[in-house]
A and B are shown apart, each in its own frame.
Chain A
Amino acid sequence: GEDVEQSLFLSVREGDSSVINCTYTDSSSTYLYWYKQEPGAGLQLLTYIFSNMDMKQDQRLTVLLNKKDKHLSLRIADTQTGDSAIYFCAERGFQKLVFGTGTRLLVSP
């Protein structure tokens, strides 16, 4: 079955880079997503990557995909306090998204 795992917590200083990691099990996943959830709010789509890509860059965000190891990462350059949130990795099956438990990113000044 599908399973997505993430580390629960990451703490960085403002201005540093953050790297949030995710592993998934469904090798047939064709799209993988990163969502951001701020406190008490819904999920905001940050970016997604198609499985035939190794990397996708979007401003401060870089997504790396290692399909062989089923490993996905999200790098946030020049992390700001406003980036503090929970970040969810998700893999897309035919009908639904399967989410990880989320990584809480804390950015300190």
Chain B
Amino acid sequence: SQTIHQWPATLVQPVGSPLSLECTVEGTSNPNLYWYRQAAGRGLQLLFYSVGIGQISSEVPQNLSASRPQDRQFILSSKKLLLSDSGFYLCAWSVGRSPGNTIYFGEGSWLTVV
């Protein structure tokens, strides 16, 4: 069966520090991978998605970046965090891109920028 792992689960970082959140998927190959963010009291916003190694699409301009160095690994990074980067970050995966392919989520990472 397929599983998705995301870490760290919680993170407290000072403003201006770097960020690295990692996500891996097991039990499938060539998944589509996604990073979503849920800010306090708000819905989920798609940040990045990837359909293959080295292929990253950004949905919103921001000081975050994503990379996919391996088929089942997706990394969310920042060189200098802002207070507004605080939130709950969710990695997700799907097989294929058609609307019928369900997207499955990891357990999320809580980021607090202080």
A and B interact: yes
Spell out A's residues near B (CB within 8 Å). 4, 29-31, 33, 35, 40-45, 48, 50, 88, 90, 92-102
Size bin of chain B's contact surface: 20 to 34
Bound CA–CA A93/B49 (angstroms): 13
In the complex, are the beta carbons of B99 and A102 less than 8 A apart? no
Q: Say if the beta carbon of B70 comes within 8 Å of chain A.
A: no
Chain A residue numbers with a CB within 8 Å of B76 are none
In the complex, are the beta carbons of A41 and B107 less than 8 A apart? yes
Spell out B's residues near A (CB within 8 Å). 6, 32, 34, 36, 42-44, 46, 49, 57, 59, 90, 92, 97-100, 102-108, 110
Q: By DSSP majority rule, is chain A's interface helix, strand, loop, or mixed? A: strand
Chain B CB within 10 Å, residue with most, of A31, A90, A95: A95
